[in-house]
Amino acid sequence: MFVLGGPVKGGRVYGQWPGLGANQLYEGRDLAVTTDFRQVAGRSCVTSLGNDNLARVSRDLRKPPAGIS
């Protein structure tokens, strides 16, 4: 997942690197997912758009845990 824009604190990789070993791939062929995109989208709505009523935007968006910016 890539996130772009002025408020993004870039210059590093966030999340976990699961690895590319045969036993680390999802279904033996795909890079494993380690970040729930709904948390990223929820954080973007709250910080960039100033909307903390995520249920109104989408029932699938989730607020990230406190302290994550």
User: Distance between CA 25 and CA 18 in Å, rounded?
Assistant: 8
Q: pLDDT tens digit string along 7-18? A: 777 787 777 888
Q: How many CA atoms lie within 13 A of 51 on its CB side?
A: 13
Q: Note the pTM of the prediction, 2 decimals.
A: 0.54
The phi, psi pair for 47, rounded to 5°, reads -85, -40
CA 41 to chain centre: 7
Please tell me the total number of residues recorded for the chain in this structure: 69
Q: What is the mean pLDDT of residues 2-9?
A: 76
Contact 62, 38 (CB under 8 A): yes
User: Distance between CA 19 and CA 31 in Å, rounded?
Assistant: 8
